[in-house]
Amino acid sequence: MFTRVSIPTPFQVGAVNAYVAGRTIVDPGPDSEEAWSRLIEALEARELAAADIEQVVVTHPHPDHFGLADRFASEGARVLASPPAARIMADFAAQLEAEQSYFVDFFERCGTSAETAETVTNLPEAFLAYAQSVDTDRELTGGDTVTVDDRMLTVDAVQGHAAGELIFSYDDGGRREALVGDNVLGDITPNPFLQAPTERGAERPRVLPAFNDSLRWLREQGHDRFLTGHREPVESPAARIDAILDEHDQRTEEVAEIVAGGATTPVDVMTALFGDLPATEYFAGLSEAVGHLDVLEADNRVEQRETGGVLVYESI
C-alpha cells in the first residue's frame, strides 16, 4: 500500500523513511533542501507535485519526521497529528526553550556540572533549522480512523520514544501492517528519551516503564509487519518486540548491579554503562540511565532521595 522513500537527514541516525500512498505522505522528513528535493523526485515518479498532496500524517514530533510538513501545508495539505504532537509542532522553538529550562536544572540534579548541563541542553538548538513550526488541522487520538487512498487506517496512541506517538494499522493483502514511526525499529533499540513535564511543577513522565508496558500491549495486537521510521521494515513484529524488551530487561539488571554497589547518581550510572561520553551523547545516555532507574523504582527495587540538590539512588 505504501511506498517507502528514504529521505536524507543531518542527524546521526541517518536517513528517515517517508511513506507515500495516494495523495498522503506519512512523516515527510526534515526541512532541508536536500530532503525536499528527494521527496519531490519521489512524487514526480508517481506523477504528483507538492500541491497534489492532500494530507500529511505525523507519527511523532521529532524534526526528522515532521520538518517538511509546513511546506506541504503551504501548498494546501492538511496536517494530522496527536494533540501532544500538535502542541509541540505549533511552536517548536518555544517547546525547545521550555525543555531547555527544565533540563538544565534536572541534569544538574542528576549529577552534571552547571556548565555541562548548559552545554548539553543548548545542543538541540541546531535542530531548529530542520523543524519549521506547523499548525495541525486534525488532531488524532487512539481509536480514530484515517482514510488513505480509499483505505481505512486505525489510530493507536503508544508511548516510549517521543511525546504524542501514534501508530497506524491497516490490512493489506490479508496481512495486518502498521506504520510505527520510531516506536519499534528493526536493528536499533529505540531510545526512550527523557520528556519534560507538560505543565510547570508537574511530575516528569516516567518514559521507560510506560514504553515497556506499551510494547507489551503492541506485541499482542497481531501485526504481521511494521513499516518503521528508519531502515528496513520489521517482518516479525512480535519477535522484534520480545528482543527489545529483553534488551531493556538486561540493561535494567546492569543498572541494578551498579546501584547495589552503593549510593549512585544518574550520572554515575551513565558513566558505569558507557564510560566518558561526549556532550553530544549526554542526553541519550542520561535518558537511558534515568529510564532504567525509573523501572527499578517502579518495581520497588531502588529508592530515590536528594542530597545537596543531587538525586541519589540506593537499593532497597
Residue 281 domain flag: no
The cell for 305 is 532521595
Residue 29 domain flag: yes
At how many degrees (to 10) do helices 237-260 and 282-298 cross?
80
Is 296 a residue whose pLDDT tops 90? yes
Predicted confidence (pLDDT) per residue in 217-250, tens digit? 999 999 999 999 999 999 999 999 999 999 999 9
Residue 121 domain flag: no
Query: Which pLDDT belongs to residue 114?
Result: 94
Could you give the CA distance from residue 263 to residue 107 in angstroms, rounded to a whole number?
Answer: 18
Res. 67 pLDDT band, cuts 50 70 90:
very high
Could you give the CA distance from residue 211 to residue 249 in angstroms, rounded to a whole number?
Answer: 12
**Maximal CA-CA distance, the chain:** 63
Query: Which pLDDT belongs to residue 45?
Result: 96
* Helix extents (H) in the chain: 33-45, 63-66, 69-74, 83-90, 92-110, 114-122, 207-219, 237-260, 266-274, 282-298
Query: Which pLDDT belongs to residue 127?
Result: 87
Predicted confidence (pLDDT) per residue in 126-159, tens digit? 889 999 999 999 999 999 999 999 999 999 999 9
Query: Which pLDDT belongs to residue 199?
Result: 83
**Mean pLDDT across the stretch 69-85?**
98
Res. 191 pLDDT band, cuts 50 70 90:
confident
pLDDT over 70, % of the chain: 100
**Mean pLDDT across the stretch 10-19?**
93
Res. 71 pLDDT band, cuts 50 70 90:
very high
Could you give the CA distance from residue 185 to residue 143 in angstroms, rounded to a whole number?
Answer: 23
Residue 120 domain flag: no
Query: Which pLDDT belongs to residue 249?
Result: 97
Predicted confidence (pLDDT) per residue in 246-293, tens digit? 999 999 999 999 999 998 999 999 999 999 999 999 999 999 999 999
pLDDT over 90, % of the chain: 93
Mean pLDDT rounded to a whole number for the chain: 96
Residue 100 domain flag: no
The strand pairing partners of 305, in sequence order, are 312
Residue 123 domain flag: no
Residue 74 domain flag: yes
CATH code for position 26: 3.60.15.10
Q: How far is CA 13 from CA 149, 188, 278, in A?
A: 30, 9, 16
DSSP per residue over 82-144, as a string? -HHHHHHHHTHHHHHHHHHHHHHHHHHHHT--HHHHHHHHHGGGGGGGG------SEE--TT-
What pairing do the DSSP bridges indicate for beta strands 55-57 and 24-26?
A: parallel
Is 9 a residue whose pLDDT tops 90? yes
Residue 168 domain flag: yes
What is the CA 10 to chain-centroid distance, rounded? 17
Single pTM value for the model: 0.96
Query: Which pLDDT belongs to residue 201?
Result: 80
Predicted confidence (pLDDT) per residue in 81-132, tens digit? 999 999 999 999 999 999 999 999 999 999 999 999 999 999 988 889 999 9
Res. 12 pLDDT band, cuts 50 70 90:
confident
| Owning domain of residue 7 | 3-92+128-244
The cell for 244 is 527489545
